[in-house]
Amino acid sequence: MAFGIYKPGQGYWVRVLTATFAGVILLAMTAWMWNQLERAANAMPKAGWIVVVSPAQGTAAPGQAVKLLGDPVRPGEPAPELGTAVVESAVATQTGNRLTVKDLKIASGDPALIKGVAPATGSAATITGRVPVVPQGKPLVEPLYVQAAGVGVLLLAGAILIFWLVGVSQSVVEFLIATDGEMKKVNWSSRKDIIGSTWVVILWSFLIAGGLFVVDLAFSKFFQLIGVLQQ
C-alpha cells in the first residue's frame, strides 16, 4: 500500500487541527513517560555504591572486602555489622576516602543504615572510619539514556501513527473530509448576535442572583420570626 497522502488538499484545516491536538496529547504522554522511566531506571539494580568514609584510617585496594557497620544500640557498645562489600576503587579526597564498592550485601537491604566501615575478617584492607552521608548507588544504566530512548521511540511511533491517521488511512481521512464539509454548512452567528446574546446572559445572571438573594433573605427573616433561627 502506498504511503502517500490520501486526497491532499481536501479537509485541510480539519486534518491539520486533528494532527495538532493529537500532537499535544503525544507530548503530554512523553512528559508522563519521561518521569516514569526515571523512576524505573532508578529502581533497577545498582552497578555499585559510592561510600564516603570520613574521618578514615588506613587504606583499601580494589578487590579487598570490608564490613559495613551500623550505629551502636547503646553508647560504648560495638557497632553492629550490617553486611559486607568488595572495594572496586578507593580515592582519597578532602572530605574523606571515597570508596566505590560492589557486591554490597546488607541484611536489611537499606543502605541508609550504613554508618561505618571496617576491615572484613581475612581481608588485607585496613580502612576504618565513619560514613557521614548515605551511600549513593551507581545505576546499572544511566537514567537519562533510558529516558531519551523511551521518549524517542514514543515520539517516533506517535508521529507515524498521527501521519497515518490524518494522511494515509482512507476511512479516517474520508471521515475528516466529511467533517470539514459539514463544518462549512454551519451558519455561524454574527458579531452583533454574539454580543447581544452575551449581554442577555449577563443581565439574566444578575437578575436571577438578585432574586435568589431576596428569596433567601425573606426565608431567613421568616425563620428568625418563628424562632427556628437565632438572630
Examine the domain organization and report whether 200 and 88 are in the same domain.
no
Confidence (pLDDT) at 1: 46
> What are the residues whose beta carbons fall under 8 Å from the beta carbon of 55, sequence distance 6 or more?
96, 129, 130
3-class DSSP string for 191-213: HHHHHHHHHHHHHHHHHHHHHHH
Examine the domain organization and report whether 155 and 216 are in the same domain.
no
Q: Is the CB of residue 180 less than 8 Å from the CB of residue 14?
A: yes
Examine the domain organization and report whether 155 and 132 are in the same domain.
no
Q: Per the domain annotation, does 1 fall within a domain?
A: no
Q: Per the domain annotation, does 6 fall within a domain?
A: no
Residue-wise pLDDT tens for the chain (231 aa)?
A: 456 788 888 999 999 999 999 999 999 999 999 999 988 888 888 888 889 888 888 888 899 999 999 988 888 788 899 989 999 888 888 778 888 898 888 887 788 889 999 998 888 888 888 898 888 888 888 889 999 999 999 999 999 999 999 999 999 999 999 999 988 888 888 899 999 999 999 999 999 999 999 999 999 888 888 877 776
Q: Per the domain annotation, does 4 fall within a domain?
A: no
Examine the domain organization and report whether 35 and 60 are in the same domain.
no
How many structural domains comprise the chain? 3
CA distances from 201 to 122, 188, 189, 197, 206 (A): 87, 19, 16, 6, 9
Examine the domain organization and report whether 200 and 129 are in the same domain.
no
Examine the domain organization and report whether 69 and 109 are in the same domain.
yes
All three cell numbers of 224 = 428568625
All three cell numbers of 47 = 552497578
Examine the domain organization and report whether 209 and 97 are in the same domain.
no
Q: Per the domain annotation, does 2 fall within a domain?
A: no
Q: Per the domain annotation, does 151 fall within a domain?
A: yes
Q: Per the domain annotation, does 7 fall within a domain?
A: no
Examine the domain organization and report whether 32 and 114 are in the same domain.
no
Confidence (pLDDT) at 36: 93
Helices 12-43, 170-184: inter-axial angle, 10-degree rounding? 130
Domain of 150?
A: 12-40+143-183
Examine the domain organization and report whether 64 and 127 are in the same domain.
yes
Q: Per the domain annotation, does 5 fall within a domain?
A: no
Examine the domain organization and report whether 115 and 58 are in the same domain.
yes
User: Which residue from 69, 55, 50 is spatially nearest to 129, judged by alpha carbons?
Assistant: 55
- State the Cα–Cα distance between residues 201 and 44, nearest whole angstrom: 58
Examine the domain organization and report whether 150 and 85 are in the same domain.
no
Q: Per the domain annotation, does 152 fall within a domain?
A: yes
Examine the domain organization and report whether 168 and 230 are in the same domain.
no
